[in-house]
């Protein structure tokens, strides 16, 4: 299982993204980070910490569960219902610049669901997207504003991001599948 | 077709959770298309419903109190007994999941013209609802419907048998306040004979490892209740002494004619939850009531409105729990080509 990023590389990549966020928005005023469950959440928290180190300002952070907004809900003829987890957005998103954070950008459907969910919470001034890995194969017109690494993949591969907070270690790997499994 | 006032033999056979896998291993879905009772749920399934309800609860506090999860699904609320509280709770839950709801109140329906339950159900089924929420005065009505209808059936109370969503929301409320169900001393006081809320609660709480104590007038005590793994207090003081949770059941005033209780005043004196009695429980006790309350009969106003009461939390949690049940059943065991 080839390792795309080790812990060190992940850390430096996130620091770089934090700097890009500050640069593009000319500071962190009006910003809020919203991590998409599950692994977008610890990544968002790390970005918040980096932003604090750079600017000495606390950027509010929330967690978004998009399960109930998925476009493939209720379509599974067999298979378990995806488990719903808590959404915690303890801030008003009106007139804020929301920075959505996810681990992997693939078809774009997760981000589409996240956009729909966010709009139900209010009217943000703008929404920007951070992803650690963009693996291509978009099925919707969605683009990330900040990308950790672009990784061209085939449909028989998966990109797996592991984070200390959930998986016990930091790394990004590529897994190969047999064609039937996809 | 209501049961008469005669004492019921209490159902003691409780099915073990599913063949094969341990009933405690976490699950991601419910096994059947229906929620007919707590009797059919394994501890893992109960935990799944409660965990999902926790995620659903937050939706009530959003500016837009709606998620698209059940968009395009049709849910029929078929209530043969009057109900405002439960029916409203289900309706709000359905609407918050973006489902289309249909409320059928029996007094205005063809049942008045003598249509049987089975025929009513078959007619409904022909219009392809996805879920039917049924409340009926006959125990087992939901099981009948489950066999007839392809739609998932949710039991909103059948006769004197079960009221599973009430027990689930009670368990959710307890777990929210106490962090767990296992090992808690939970006292349930009131009309134990006629209460389907009691039966569902006893099944659920004992299955999850709580220490359940019951107490009520001897005339309202079902035969064989102690075989369900509960203790029966010889006095209300014994039942609630040191309790973590006290649950009051409604004295069903309509039963007064049967001579079960000498008078409401005497009932309150002997069994009513007064501030003095509350002091016998633990200092952090919570007081619960499924509603609607008879103030001054089973519970004093000062207790109902006091700092230990979580009665209004129960109502809020009811919507979240029902959203969880609807969500888990709507995506459920569809092996037909409907998807």
What is the average pLDDT across B98-103? 95
Find the residue in B nearest to A86 (Cα): B55
Average pLDDT over residues B129-134: 95
Burial of A1 (0-12, 13-18, 19+ CB in 10 A): exposed
Confidence of residue B116 (pLDDT cuts 50, 70, 90): confident
How is residue B152 written in tokens?
């998932």
Q: For tokens 């059928």, name the residue.
A: B104
pLDDT tens-digit profile of B193-226?
A: 889 999 999 999 999 999 999 999 988 888 888 8
Q: Binning pLDDT at 50, 70 and 90, where does residue B276 land?
A: very high
Who's near B312: CB < 8 A, 6+ residues apart? none
Q: Residue B205 has what pLDDT?
A: 97
Select from A69, A74, A122 the Cβ nearest to the Cβ of B67. Answer: A69
Please indicate if any CB of chain B lies within 8 Å of the CB of A73: yes
CA-CA distance, B145 to A160, in Å (whole number)? 46
What ipTM is given for this predicted complex? 0.82
> Does B339 contact A74 at a Cβ distance shorter than 8 Å?
yes
d(CA B17, CA A91): 43
Tokens standing for residue A157:
């591969």
What distances in angstroms separate CA B59 from CA A51, A85, A89, B208, B268, one per listed residue?
30, 12, 11, 27, 39
Show the low-confidence residues of chain A (pLDDT under 50).
77-78, 182
How close A134 gets to chain B, by Cα (Å)?
Answer: 27
| Mean pLDDT, residues B171-195 | 95
Taking only the tens place, the pLDDT of each residue in B313-324 is 999 999 999 999
Does the beta carbon of B332 lie under 8 angstroms from any beta carbon of chain A? yes
Please tell me whether the overall predicted TM-score, pTM, comes out greater than 0.95 for this model: no
pLDDT band, very low/low/confident/very high, at B14 (cuts 50, 70, 90): very low
pLDDT band at residue B338 under the 50/70/90 scheme = very low
Contact list, A73 vs chain B (CB under 8 Å)? 69, 331
Whole-number pLDDT of residue B125? 87
- Rounded-to-5 percentages of helix, strand, coil across chain A: 30, 25, 40
Task: Give the Cα separation of B83 and B237 in Å (integer).
Answer: 33
* Position B13 pLDDT exceeds 60: no
Contact (Cβ atoms closer than 8 angstroms) between residue A115 and residue A127: yes
B231-232 sheet: strands from edge to edge: B231-232, B211-215, B185-189, B245-248, B286-288
Per-residue confidence (pLDDT) for residue B252, from 0 to 100: 73
Closest C-alpha to B70, from B83, B86, B81, B59: B59
Confirm or reject contact between B60 and chain A (CB < 8 A). no
Output the pLDDT for position A77.
47
Question: What is the rounded average pLDDT of the residues B266-289?
Answer: 95
The predicted structure's pLDDT at residue B110: 65
Residue whose entry in the numeric block shows the structure tokens 């339950």: B117
CA distance B176 to chain A (A): 14
Cβ pair B55:A120 closer than 8 A: no
d(CA B144, CA B120): 12
Position B336 scores a pLDDT of: 35
**Closest to A59 (Cα-Cα) out of A70, A51, A67:** A51
What is the predicted pLDDT for the residue at B185? 97
A157-162 and A171-176 beta bridge pairing: antiparallel
| B7 lies within 8 A of chain A by CB | no
Contact call for residues B316 and B60 (beta carbons, < 8 A)? yes
Contacts with A81 from chain B: Cβ below 8 Å: 28-29, 327-328, 331-332
């Amino acid at each position: 299982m080839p390792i795309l990023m080790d812990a060190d590389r992940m850390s430096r990549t996130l620091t770089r993204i934090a700097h890009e966020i500050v640069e593009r928005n000319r500071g962190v005023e009006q910003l809020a980070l919203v991590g998409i469950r599950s692994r977008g959440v610890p990544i968002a928290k790390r970005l918040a910490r980096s932003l604090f180190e750079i600017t000495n300002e606390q950027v509010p952070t929330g967690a978004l569960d998009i399960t109930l907004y998925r476009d493939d809900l209720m379509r599974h003829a067999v298979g378990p219902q995806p488990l719903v987890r808590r959404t915690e957005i303890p801030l008003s998103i009106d007139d804020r610049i929301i920075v959505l954070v996810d681990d992997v950008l693939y078809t774009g459907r997760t981000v589409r669901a996240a956009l729909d969910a966010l709009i139900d919470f209010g009217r943000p001034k703008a929404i920007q997207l951070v992803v650690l890995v963009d693996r291509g194969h978009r099925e919707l017109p969605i683009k990330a504003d900040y990308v950790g690494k672009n990784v061209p993949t085939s449909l028989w591969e998966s990109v797996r991001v592991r984070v200390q907070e959930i998986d016990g270690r930091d790394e990004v790997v590529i897994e190969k599948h047999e064609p039937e499994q996809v | 077709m209501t049961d008469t006032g005669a004492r019921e033999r209490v159902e003691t056979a409780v099915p073990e959770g599913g063949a094969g896998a341990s009933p405690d291993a976490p699950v991601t879905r419910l096994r059947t298309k229906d929620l007919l009772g707590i009797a059919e749920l394994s501890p893992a399934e109960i935990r799944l419903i409660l965990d999902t309800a926790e995620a659903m609860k937050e939706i009530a506090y959003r500016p837009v109190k709606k998620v698209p999860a059940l968009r395009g699904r049709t849910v029929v609320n078929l209530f043969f007994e009057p109900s405002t509280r439960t029916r409203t709770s289900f309706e709000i839950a359905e609407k918050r999941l973006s489902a289309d709801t249909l409320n059928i109140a029996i007094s205005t329906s063809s049942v008045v013209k003598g249509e049987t339950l089975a025929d009513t159900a078959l007619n409904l089924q022909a219009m392809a609802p996805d879920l039917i929420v049924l409340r009926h005065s006959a125990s087992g009505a939901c099981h009948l419907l489950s066999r007839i209808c392809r739609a998932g059936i949710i039991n909103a109370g059948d006769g004197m048998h079960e009221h599973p969503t009430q027990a689930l929301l009670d368990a959710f409320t307890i777990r929210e306040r106490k962090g767990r169900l296992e090992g808690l001393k939970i006292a349930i006081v009131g009309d134990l004979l006629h209460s389907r809320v009691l039966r569902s609660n006893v099944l659920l709480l004992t299955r999850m490892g709580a220490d359940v104590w019951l107490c009520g007038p001897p005339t309202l005590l079902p035969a064989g209740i102690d075989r369900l793994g509960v203790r029966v207090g010889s006095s209300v003081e014994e039942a609630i002494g040191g309790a973590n949770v006290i649950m009051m059941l409604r004295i069903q005033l309509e039963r007064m004619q049967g001579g079960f209780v000498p008078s409401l005043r005497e009932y309150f004196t002997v069994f009513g939850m007064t501030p003095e009695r509350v002091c016998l429980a633990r200092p952090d006790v919570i007081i619960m009531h499924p509603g609607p309350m008879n103030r001054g009969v089973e519970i004093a106003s000062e207790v109902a409105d006091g700092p230990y009461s979580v009665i209004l939390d129960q109502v809020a949690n009811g919507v979240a729990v029902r959203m969880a049940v609807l969500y888990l059943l709507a995506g459920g065991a569809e092996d037909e080509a409907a998807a």
